[in-house]
Structure 1
Amino acid sequence: MMRWIVLLCTLFLTLNAESFRVYSEYNPPFNYKNADGNVEGPSVWLLQELFRKTGQTIVDGQINVVPWSRGYHEVLEHPRTVLFSAARTQEREALFAWVGPIGKLRIGVIAKKERHVNLQALRGHNLGKIGTVHDSGAEQLLLKEGFTLEDFDRFSNIDSQLRKLREDRLDAVAFSVDAMFYTLQATGCSLDAYEIVSLLRENDLYFAFHKDTDPALIERLNQTLKAIRP
């Protein structure tokens, strides 16, 4: 009897299996590449466990680490894709199918303490003095506060932002606070030299699937996630 139950469960998973193209970015401590070039972090482990328990697979068994803007638009436009870790915001709510939450994100603006940066004083100067990542949650929040794209120096990744900040070629950088501090520390910077100028928002992080993903699968993934991390 037990053998038949196992066979039926295996058949169910096989019939309901899909293969997803998976996109991520460098967003420590949630997901990042280790010294060997492999993608790791708690978000990576959670996705692998979710797929293992629900019978889903990753195309080529590979997580594609790409600039945020590219991954964002790939999942917007192509079925059977997923992006992580993504902040679930009001602006994005209808754009994706969501599985989570899988963590907490603090979106903010940091600067060197010695520069005594006033965020609002940077608005409207059109000098590109705030480093941002294309299409990031930080950009969207600053735009809602009255900033324009002309106020930003836009990059495809966090490393470019922070290098300019270290070299005093930017007044401030807007992104995930924890990812920025993690990266600065990893490059040998003293975190005592930096401060949070403005905490724009705290968001839950999710796996963002293409919006046309089967709702029944999204529900099953969410229920499985609750069992993994109640």
Structure 2
Amino acid sequence: MMRWIVLLCTLFLTLNAESFRVYTEYNPPFNYKNAEGKIEGSSVWLLQELFRKTGQTIVDGQINVVPWSRGYHEVLEHPRTVLFSAARTQEREALFAWVGPIGKLRIGVIAKKERHVNLQALRGHNLGKIGTVHDSGAEQLLLKEGFTLEDFDRFSNIDSQLRKLREDRLDAVAFSVDAMFYTLQATGYSLDAYEIVTLLRENDLYFAFHKDTDPALIERLNQTLKAIRP
């Protein structure tokens, strides 16, 4: 009898399985590449476990680590795609189908302590002195505060912006606070030299699926996630 139950469960998962193209970025400790080039992190484990339990698969078995802007637009435009870890904001609410929460993100602005940066003094001067990542939550929040794209030095990844900050080519950088401090420490720099100028927002993080993903599947993924991460 038990054998038949197992076979029926396997058949159910197979019939309801979909294959997703998966995108992520460098955002430790949630998702990042280790020294051997392997993708890992708490969100990576959660997605793999979630897909295993619900019978979903990843195209080619590969999680694509790409610049945030590319992954963001791929999932906006193409069905059967998912992006993580994404902050669920009011501006993005209708753009994706959401599974989560899977963690908490602190979005903020950091600078060198010795520079005594006043963030508001950088607003509206079009100097491009605030390092950002294209289409990131930090950019969206700063734009709502009255900053313009001309106030930003925009790039595809946070590593380049932090290098410019260390070299005094930028006054400040806006991104995930934890990812920035993790990266600075991992590259041998003392965190004592840096400070949080302002904390823009704390957001729950989610898996962001293409908005036309079957609602029944999204509900099943959310219920399964609750069992994995009570």
TM-score range, shorter chain: over 0.9
| Partner SS for 1:179 | helix
In 2: Cα distance, 1:142 partner to 1:180 partner: 17
In 2: Cα distance, 1:211 partner to 1:2 partner: 38
In the alignment, structure 1 segments of 5+ residues that lack a partner are none
Deviations 1:41-87 (A, max 9, x none): 01000000000000000000000000000000000000000000000
In 2: Cα distance, 1:219 partner to 1:50 partner: 12
Give runs of aligned pairs for residues 151-170 of structure 1, distance below 5 A. Answer: 151-170=151-170
Deviations 1:26-49 (A, max 9, x none): 000110001111100010000000
| Partner SS for 1:170 | coil
In 2: Cα distance, 1:101 partner to 1:183 partner: 24
- Which residue in the other structure is 2:113 paired with? 113
Aligned length: 230
Following TM superposition, by how much is the alpha carbon of 1:2 offset from its aligned partner in structure 2, in angstroms? Answer: 1.1
Following TM superposition, by how much is the alpha carbon of 1:125 offset from its aligned partner in structure 2, in angstroms? Answer: 1.0
In 2: Cα distance, 1:219 partner to 1:107 partner: 28
Following TM superposition, by how much is the alpha carbon of 1:92 offset from its aligned partner in structure 2, in angstroms? Answer: 0.1
Following TM superposition, by how much is the alpha carbon of 1:192 offset from its aligned partner in structure 2, in angstroms? Answer: 0.4
Following TM superposition, by how much is the alpha carbon of 1:3 offset from its aligned partner in structure 2, in angstroms? Answer: 1.1
Following TM superposition, by how much is the alpha carbon of 1:219 offset from its aligned partner in structure 2, in angstroms? Answer: 0.4
Following TM superposition, by how much is the alpha carbon of 1:147 offset from its aligned partner in structure 2, in angstroms? Answer: 0.2
How high is the TM-score relative to the length of structure 1? 1.00
Deviations 1:196-223 (A, max 9, x none): 0010000000000000000000000000
Q: Kindly indicate whether residue 163 of structure 2 is the aligned counterpart of residue 134 of structure 1.
A: no
| Partner SS for 2:84 | strand
In 1: Cα distance, 2:116 partner to 2:179 partner: 22
In 2: Cα distance, 1:114 partner to 1:138 partner: 23
In 2: Cα distance, 1:128 partner to 1:45 partner: 37
In 1: Cα distance, 2:38 partner to 2:57 partner: 18
In the alignment, structure 2 segments of 5+ residues that lack a partner are none
| Partner SS for 2:48 | helix
Deviations 1:70-128 (A, max 9, x none): 00000000000000000000000000000000000000000000000000000011110
| Partner SS for 1:110 | strand
- Which residue in the other structure is 2:187 paired with? 187
| Partner SS for 1:125 | coil
| Partner SS for 2:27 | coil
- Which residue in the other structure is 1:175 paired with? 175
| Partner SS for 2:127 | coil
Identity of aligned residues (%): 97
In 1: Cα distance, 2:170 partner to 2:36 partner: 31
- Which residue in the other structure is 2:62 paired with? 62
Following TM superposition, by how much is the alpha carbon of 1:224 offset from its aligned partner in structure 2, in angstroms? Answer: 0.4
In 2: Cα distance, 1:218 partner to 1:38 partner: 28
RMSD: 0.4
